[in-house]
Structure 1
Amino acid sequence: MKAITMILLTIFLGKSCTNEAQNDLTNTVIQYTANTRGFYQKIVIVNQKATISRDRSEKAPKEEITISDADWALLVGAFAKINLEEVPKLKDPTQKRFYDGAPIANLKIRYQEKDYETTDFDHGFPPKEIEKLVNKIVALAKEKEE
């Protein structure tokens, strides 16, 4: 009986820890916001589309882009490596935002009806655990800007 219980427990734990089950980016909403007195940027990613706002006003026009398959694959790969439960505990590597050296940035992830939000960090200097994802999101907005 103990052997059967151990086998079932092992299978159950193995299934719950897979990246596919934990990190399904298609059904996830990612919101990156960076702002300071003279700068504002909000990027929302949902199912291979990105909406970019450069004005705090809700009435201001938003840019909408379709994310290419190659960029989407990079986002999925970066997202799969993130432990969502650790996101609120991530430490900021720099504190330039305290003296207006960098805009204040924040990352929010809504996955399976649960929200995961980072503490504030410097725009351009994300915590290393989410660095690839954040840098790719910012790069998408920068491409549209140019």
Structure 2
Amino acid sequence: MADAQCLCGALELTARDQSKLVAACHCFACQRRTGAPFGVGAFYAIDTVEISGAATEFVRIGDSGRKVRSYFCPTCGSTVYWKADALPSMIGVAVGALAAPDFPAPTLSVFEQSKHHWVHLDGEVEHFHEGAMRKYSAEERM
């Protein structure tokens, strides 16, 4: 089970199952969304997640060419989760919102064409210059 929440605690998400995928994304949208050189998301089957609290939705076209809906707290502005049309049966959760230093490391690193040159991920990580959603569709990962 995983519990994520925004900074003020008004928006919470609970996942009743293990994550199916943990990915580091270096696209410019994730860099701007997080204010960091990359974002890290844990992906869960959408039917295993419960959300409580109000969220504001922001819709954008991702580097994949498909819509990505980010949900953030209207009070503190923290992004807690997102839904990508490329993975319709999954929900992405910001690993930072889980506040769990022992959370598993990413197994994928995507959109590395915009990765900062000084970022290096240790361990067994698959690297993709662009996205990997075709390879990692929701059906293949479940």
Q: TM-score range by the shorter chain?
A: under 0.3
Using CA pairs under 8 Å that are at least 6 residues apart, name the structure with larger relative contact order, 1 or 2: 2
Q: With the length of structure 1 as denominator, give the TM-score of the two structures.
A: 0.24
Q: With the length of structure 2 as denominator, give the TM-score of the two structures.
A: 0.24
Higher strand residue share? 2
Higher helix residue share? 1
| Greater Rg by CA | 1
